[in-house]
Structure 1
Amino acid sequence: MSQARTAVVARLTDLGFAAGWHAVRLLPEPVARGAFDRAGRWAAGRDGRGTRQLRANLRVVTGGRLSEAELGELTARALRSYARYWQEAFRLPAISSERIVADTEVVGVEHLEKARAGGRPVIMALPHSGNWDAAGVWFIDWLDGPFMTVAERLRPESLYERFVAFRESLGFRVVPLTGGPRPSTEVLRDWLADGGATCLLVDRNLGSGGVPVEFFGRTATLPGGAALLADRTGAALVPVVCQFTGRGWRLVFAPEVPVAGDGRLRDRVTTAMQAVADAFAAAIAGQPEDWHMLGRIWADVPPDPPARPGAGAPPTPDGR
């Protein structure tokens, strides 16, 4: 793709998101839900690259036990779930925090309470599942204050700024993954040292490093930063998976993952991230349609081949 076309696509994407945040929140909720549900169905029928990668990923998650027809149905549900995320993201600034808290089911919150009762900072490690922005509103209410998170740089810069403004409007503290005045790891470390809490998406490695883990029986690479921060700050590393319910949302907390101990730091970080991956897998397996992984995370699991010639996917930034 030429630079000029790339710039045009980026600009149109930015304008599309700007229109979404303005227009979708003005629609009656049933109308918005119906429109985005139809968009999810359309994406499933279009069979673009992201859809084909999602189907391949879900084949791994379900252990190859589903027929191709059943896998297709699961993929369609997953795309409708993903569309629901975007519909809610566009409307979230107009939804009251009281409603979000009231409509959120919580499983295993005692693991979070144990860490906070001991006066320790908390690192909540999440996958791209359900609606983690809505979960963030619940976190802020439970913490009685903000938490800090990291945002991936998007192009154009105006789109990145829209996502930062959106999340800051919900009460998040956001630092850029790259390009900030200070490295994001330093900012997070200082925040945790002051007793703060952070939420980090860790089921996809965006950097050149990372640690190998077994995830649904295959080797994947996860970023090790969450475990490294826990070791350096004494924070509790708590995996949590967000899911949708018919009415609202569900948060599934797993027990704290220990990081401190004897042995080499890299080995302890790898062991900790394996435990995080295991916690993710247990929850994702129970409701796989809410895991919105349209990218490649296993080296040996490419997208499925196109069902028809010319299948493609519209450019969508991974703003989550």
Structure 2
Amino acid sequence: MQSTLSARWAAIRPRIIDRAFAAGWSVLPRVPERVAGAAFDAVGTVSAMWPGAYAQLRANLREVVGPSYSAKQLDALTRRSVRSYTRYWREVFQLPGMDPADVGRRTEYLGGEHVDRAMHGGRGVVIALTHSGNWDAAAVQLCQVRGYAMTSVAERLKPESLYERFKRFRESLGMTVVPLTGGPEPSVVALKRALNEGQQVTLLADRDLQANGIPVQLCGRRTTMPTGPGLMALQTGSALLPLELGYTETGWRMRFHPEIEMPTDGRLRERVTHGMTALAEIFTDVIRRNPQDWHMLQKIWPDV
């Protein structure tokens, strides 16, 4: 009986999720931001109290803040992080109804000279970022407010209709979206072409999905990070720019760090390792500065 119920739930769960996202994009853009914000804050506060619901997030945050945090302090930080995470999802649903100019005005935009320097020189830009803040709001700033051409990758979600919804959503923000798998060409080919054309490409780099990347120290503990950002920067001559994302009380914060200088000599993997090691050091500082806005709910350290 239990196995039958589990099988039925597994069969209908993707359709339920798809319909929930469809309802979110249909309804929430018409709800006042303050009202929706209060509702999602409440959801975050309540869900953070479910026993074990965010155990991995809490364990990850412990590695970020270290042993100096008491259990009570860590619980409070986890609640803030969950509320930040629910804020992200509320904004995903509401961004299509927001005025891009207003999003631009409410965004603290720092370090833009690093982007301009590369792009005015005809180079592409590999934007490397952590799972922090709201990347989609940052895309509004870069694509719609500042007019940059950008290509991003989307995971092939199930059902296909959900993938298409996310693709349309991100394209509405100004991005070109290519599927991670199952596209007319490998995603890496599309990304390299965009960089060679002087565009921006965005890559999340704080979690190594394949667990076969470059060994680094992140927040003082050994893990691996994907090779993609460093490898693409080297292969296309693009600038590798870390982007720090976070929230302000009424908007968003973006800070581009200076370009990571990639070695010109040595074996390719050694050069990639140099770049990713430097990126991990910057990510460590970024995550530790605003741990509540780091939405890492998955395992990233092998022994945590």
Q: How does 1:1-320 map to 2 (within 5 A)?
A: 2-49=6-53, 51-141=54-144, 143-207=146-210, 209-301=212-304
**How far did residue 143 of structure 1 move?**
4.6
Matched-pair contact (CA < 8 Å) for 2:244–2:256 = yes
Is there any run of 5+ residues in structure 2 with no aligned partner, and where? none
**Whole-angstrom CA distance in 1 between matches of 2:276 and 2:145:** 25
Over 3 Å counting, the alpha-carbon distance change for 1:42 and 1:279 in structure 2 is same
> Shift of the alpha carbon at 1:52?
0.7
In the TM superposition, what whole-angstrom CA distance separates every residue of 1:117-173 from its partner, at most 9, and x where no partner exists?
322111111111001000011111465233001111111111111111110111110
d(CA) in 2 for partners of 1:208 and 1:214? Answer: 14
Deviations, residues 34-77 of structure 1 (Å, cap 9, x unaligned): 1100010011111344x111100000010222000000000000
Structure 2 CA distance for aligned equivalents of residues 207 and 143 of structure 1 = 34
CA contact (8 A) 2:211 2:224 kept: no
Q: Compare relative contact order (CA 8 Å, sep 6+) and give the higher one, 1 or 2.
A: 1
Moved over 3 A (4+): 1-4
Most deviating of 276-285 and 106-115? 106-115
- Deviation digits for residues 168-215 of structure 1 (CA, Å, limit 9, x no counterpart): 111110001111111111111111111111111111122353211110
Q: Secondary structure of 1:45's partner?
A: coil
Q: Distance in 2 between matches of 1:259 and 1:6?
A: 46
1:58-98 CA-to-partner distances (Å, cap 9, x unmatched) read 00010222000000000000000001101111000000110
Query: 1:270: how far off?
Result: 1.5
Q: What amino acid sits opposite 1:8 in the alignment?
A: I
| Aligned-pair Cα RMSD in Å | 1.4
CA distance in 2, matches of 1:10, 1:221: 31
CA distance in structure 2 between the partners assigned to 1:45 and 1:18 by the alignment? 27
**Alignment TM-score, normalising by the size of structure 1:** 0.90
The answer as to whether partners of 1:252 and 1:283 remain within 8 angstroms in 2 is no
**How far apart, CA to CA, are the structure 2 residues paired with 1:76 and 1:199?**
28
Give the partner amino acid of 2:286: A
SS at structure 1 position matched to 2:280: helix
**Number of paired residues?**
300
Whole-angstrom CA distance in 2 between matches of 1:64 and 1:271: 29
The sequence identity of aligned pairs, in percent, is: 49
Listed one character per residue, the Cα deviations across residues 261-300 of structure 1 (whole Å, up to 9, x for unaligned) are: 1111111111211111111111221111000000110001
Looking at structure 2, the residues matched to 43 and 118 of structure 1 have their Cα atoms a distance apart, in angstroms, of 48
**Alpha-carbon shift at residue 260 of structure 1 (Å):** 3.9
TM superposition shift of 1:256? 0.6
Distance 1:133 1:64 in 2: 33
